[in-house]
A and B are shown apart, each in its own frame.
Chain A
């Protein structure tokens, strides 16, 4: 039984509010100090965890079948069950999971050009690697605009390569146009392959991957000098927020993220798990009141503190509630 001095108002409304926004249910009940504690601690831990994991530690993946070539391993983020305890901040991940599973996420089974379903017109950033043009090898930073038509048709790239030749000379080339009367063409479209944020492999035909993943989407552009392959430009474009916010990560995106962040990714998971689990306590408190009682009951090893002003009524017999 809840201590009569604790006014829970409508506990079910409070519990729902507390679930959706930590502390909101207690604010509604007029328990402002607790509301601040819950909000600051739970949201703080969760936000810090998200920050450590670059906002990718919270996502839901639940494979029905084992992945091929992964030792029959199923990718299931069981920890999301704990993260979901925080309510409003984690629930979009469930929506993204179902969205990523939907038909929109599929792409053509032929894998050519692969994973380009919608028209793309975005700023590209990347690097030219092992590109041999004109006098020799050149490496440098590539920026420009990438346009890929629906299903990869009608692709264009227009950009700039700023880098160095192998002999140390600086270069600043327009990639579509001409340089020193030597035509430079980028053969994009037929050879372009849109891949995941950090997924440098093609995906199996039998198991199309969702198109949603990390914040950037990787592209490779094959550089053609005449009929010969002159090298590779590797880079990425920004993915729309709706396609990466709390979206499930692909196998390789996950592998690369874990490899890059190392123990900080594990810390991000721990922080977000614990934040979600702590909110379960807060929801229970909003629903049932404090588990051990008001707090002014005599304790074996403590002298009872004085009851506080406005809320303090006559000290009744200890009325510990039973919350398990």
Chain B
């Protein structure tokens, strides 16, 4: 698992993505809808989408790095 050493780094800035993704998701969803339950459900979905997408990019970059 080439990703594990990266994630295990003590000053890994990747983890700074998480609060950023949560904040962006909540504010964006709150600006789209008024209903609390809809805001939360959309925010959760968006947050996982952002983190999932960034993880895919990370994996892609790692694959390119290892194979080069």
Shortest beta-carbon distance from B63 to chain A in Å = 23
- Taking CB atoms, residues of chain B closer than 8 Å to A267 are 13, 16
CA distance A48 to B19 in the complex (A): 10
- Taking CB atoms, residues of chain B closer than 8 Å to A281 are 27-28, 31
A291 at interface, CB cutoff 8 A: yes
B37 at interface, CB cutoff 8 A: yes
- Taking CB atoms, residues of chain A closer than 8 Å to B33 are 290, 292-295
A291-B35 contact given A45-B19, A305-B41, CB 8 Å threshold: no
Closest to A264 in B: B13
- Taking CB atoms, residues of chain B closer than 8 Å to A45 are 19-20, 23
Q: How large is the interface on B (under 10, 10 to 19, 20 to 34, 35 or more residues)?
A: 20 to 34
CA distance A42 to B22 in the complex (A): 11
> Could you tell me if B27 and A42 are in contact, using CB atoms closer than 8 angstroms?
yes
Q: How large is the interface on A (under 10, 10 to 19, 20 to 34, 35 or more residues)?
A: 35 or more
Shortest beta-carbon distance from A322 to chain B in Å = 13
CA distance A271 to B22 in the complex (A): 12
Q: Which of A1-34 contact B (CB under 8 A)?
A: 3, 5-6, 31, 33-34
A41 at interface, CB cutoff 8 A: yes
Contact indicator per residue, chain B 19-42, by CB within 8 Å of chain A (1) or not (0): 110111011101111111111010
> Could you tell me if B35 and A308 are in contact, using CB atoms closer than 8 angstroms?
yes
A81 at interface, CB cutoff 8 A: no
CA distance A4 to B30 in the complex (A): 17
- Taking CB atoms, residues of chain A closer than 8 Å to B32 are 290-292
A211 at interface, CB cutoff 8 A: no
A278-B24 contact given A284-B31, A291-B31, A295-B33, CB 8 Å threshold: yes
Closest to A45 in B: B23
Contact of A44 among B13, B23, B31, B38 (CB under 8 A): B23
CA distance A283 to B60 in the complex (A): 37
> Could you tell me if B26 and A41 are in contact, using CB atoms closer than 8 angstroms?
yes
Q: Which of A282-308 contact B (CB under 8 A)?
A: 282, 284-285, 289-296, 302, 305-308
Contact of A38 among B13, B16, B27 (CB under 8 A): B27
> Could you tell me if B34 and A271 are in contact, using CB atoms closer than 8 angstroms?
no
CA distance A235 to B20 in the complex (A): 38
Shortest beta-carbon distance from A16 to chain B in Å = 17
CA distance A186 to B1 in the complex (A): 62
CA distance A67 to B23 in the complex (A): 38
CA distance A11 to B34 in the complex (A): 16
- Taking CB atoms, residues of chain B closer than 8 Å to A95 are none
Query: What are the 8 closest A-B residue pairs judged by CB atoms, nearest first?
Result: A295-B35, A295-B38, A295-B33, A281-B31, A41-B23, A285-B31, A292-B32, A278-B27
Q: List 19 A-B contacts (CB under 8 A).
A: A3-B34, A31-B34, A34-B30, A38-B30, A41-B22, A41-B23, A41-B26, A42-B23, A45-B23, A263-B13, A271-B20, A282-B30, A285-B30, A292-B32, A295-B35, A302-B41, A305-B37, A305-B41, A307-B35
Binding site for A on B (CB under 8 A): 13, 16, 19-20, 22-24, 26-28, 30-39, 41
